[in-house]
Chains A and B, each alone.
Chain A
Amino acid sequence: MSGFVTLVRRELRRAWIQGGMATPIAFFLLVAILFPFGIGPDGALLLRVGGAVVWTAALLAALLPVERLIAPDIENGTIDQLVVRGMADATIAAAKMVGHWLGFAPLLMLASVIAGALLGTSGDMLVRIEIGLLIGSPGLAALGVATAALTAGLRGAGALAGLVMLPLAVPLLIFGAGSIDGGPGALKLLGAVSLLFVAGAPFVAAAAMKLARA
């Protein structure tokens, strides 16, 4: 268990040092800033698309650090050394998932307050966006880690990661954006999808990491 915590701490440290924390959040805010410019000063329209914009931007922001999540650790032998110390691949992947989530979700929720203000969302709506992000972001982190493991070591892994991850993230987007005006039903479905990803991703990532070693 202490090994798990050590790994999570390492993930956070690396995310912080390599700009893996600040860049996605800056990217997220930039998308939220660009949208009002594109749509123009139509408050009602912005309000209607605001939730969807926040969720789409969150999705893209979660995708940004995918390339540095697992591939560098396979390359420099870190995963090998962890496995020799008796750590299961699924445990490593789960630690990476937790670290990835801690690295972007709290900051993303903070940045959503700013994004919400830019898009003119009401306080009530902002609360619903935040609850949705809290429930949906673990699913995003899980997808990110699974994608990172699947594409590790491939040429053009970054672009490929987008192609693999974004279609799978569609349910999160539908129920996440839907939960803003869709009520508790969408929120429950969002929770279910998120839970499914969180439960499955460590094993998918573990299988991919094992294959990368063979």
Chain B
Amino acid sequence: MTPGGALAFRDVTCVRGRRTVFSDLSFAVERGGAALVRGPNGAGKSSLIRIAAGLLEPFEGTVAYTPPRALITEDSALDSELPVARALGFWASLDDSDRDRHRAVADALAAFGLSDLAHVPVRLLSTGQRRRACLARVVAADAPTWLLDEPANGLDSASLATLETLIARHRKAGGAVVIATHLPLDLPRAQQIALGEG
């Protein structure tokens, strides 16, 4: 499904409580493009991702995107009592994808080196392993638009390299990525969106 992901913000203003977090933000991520959202704590990186995901209504402005979207937030949204493969399988069964979901989940787990942990309950995973499971969910979703909020948190260097490789592959296939992070990530030709300056 992946080909043809895109996302565009037009004059988006975000207000949380009564505070204007950012205003009149416009950018477009084309097919195969990537946007790196940077800024200090509280600058609105997560809010931007949540607006892009449709979880927050923009105070003003519009958001256009190619559905379906795949999202990572700080919350894992994996049922802690389930084995990893089944927890991911639950989400894969809800994803709008033509791929066989067992195959999709198995491939995604393998990509992040989690195959050995497929039958371990989610509650026994470490922080980094849980993060990798969340990333595996994004990969398995087969969605053209990726929205990643701090995807690299808790990852070791090997997983970080895997993540960069998979993002590159996703972009090559025509997918679009928006990443909010304060960690260094190697994203060639990514446009930078700086929040919280002026």
What's the nearest-Cβ distance from chain B to residue A86, in Å? Answer: 7
Enumerate chain B residues within 8 angstroms of A84, measured Cβ to Cβ. 53-55, 68-71
Task: Considering the complex, give the chain A residue whose CB is closest to the CB of B16.
Answer: A214
B96 pairs with A77, CB closer than 8 A: no
A214 pairs with B94, CB closer than 8 A: no
Question: Complex Cα distance A75/B95, Å?
Answer: 21
What's the nearest-Cβ distance from chain A to residue B20, in Å? Answer: 15
**Contact status of A83 and B54, CB under 8 A, knowing A3-B94, A6-B90:** yes
> Is A127 close to B, CB under 8 A?
no
> Is A48 close to B, CB under 8 A?
no
**Contact status of A85 and B95, CB under 8 A, knowing A17-B81, A76-B77:** yes
Partner of B56, one of A17, A76, A87, A214: A214
> Is B164 close to A, CB under 8 A?
no
Enumerate chain A residues within 8 angstroms of B30, measured Cβ to Cβ. none
Enumerate chain B residues within 8 angstroms of A78, measured Cβ to Cβ. 77, 79
What's the nearest-Cβ distance from chain B to residue A72, in Å? Answer: 10
> Is B75 close to A, CB under 8 A?
yes
Enumerate chain B residues within 8 angstroms of A77, measured Cβ to Cβ. 73-77
Partner of A85, one of B50, B76, B81, B94: B94
> Is B93 close to A, CB under 8 A?
yes
How many residue pairs between the two chains, A and B, have CB atoms under 8 Å in the bound complex? Answer: 57
> Is B57 close to A, CB under 8 A?
yes
Enumerate chain A residues within 8 angstroms of B79, measured Cβ to Cβ. 10, 14, 78
> Is B27 close to A, CB under 8 A?
no
> Is A81 close to B, CB under 8 A?
yes
Partner of B75, one of A14, A76, A83, A86: A76
B56 pairs with A80, CB closer than 8 A: no
Task: Considering the complex, give the chain B residue whose CB is closest to the CB of A5.
Answer: B93
Question: Complex Cα distance A3/B76, Å?
Answer: 20
> Is A82 close to B, CB under 8 A?
yes
**Contact status of A80 and B75, CB under 8 A, knowing A17-B81, A213-B55, A214-B56:** yes
Taking CB atoms and an 8 Å cut-off, the chain A residues in 4-39 that contact chain B are: 6, 10, 14, 17
Partner of B91, one of A14, A81, A214: A81
Taking CB atoms and an 8 Å cut-off, the chain B residues in 61-117 that contact chain A are: 67-71, 73-79, 81, 90-91, 93-96
Enumerate chain A residues within 8 angstroms of B56, measured Cβ to Cβ. 213-214
Enumerate chain B residues within 8 angstroms of A214, measured Cβ to Cβ. 56-57
Question: Complex Cα distance A12/B84, Å?
Answer: 19
Task: Considering the complex, give the chain A residue whose CB is closest to the CB of B95.
Answer: A85
Enumerate chain A residues within 8 angstroms of B94, measured Cβ to Cβ. 3, 6, 82, 85, 87
Enumerate chain A residues within 8 angstroms of B77, measured Cβ to Cβ. 76-78, 80-81
Partner of B55, one of A76, A83, A86: A83
What's the nearest-Cβ distance from chain B to residue A4, in Å? Answer: 10
* Residue ranges of A at the interface with B (Cβ–Cβ < 8 Å): 2-3, 6, 10, 14, 17, 75-78, 80-87, 213-214
Interface CB pairs A-B, < 8 A, 23: A3-B94, A6-B93, A6-B94, A14-B79, A14-B81, A17-B81, A76-B76, A76-B78, A77-B74, A77-B75, A78-B77, A80-B55, A80-B75, A81-B71, A82-B94, A83-B54, A84-B54, A84-B69, A84-B70, A85-B96, A87-B94, A213-B50, A213-B55
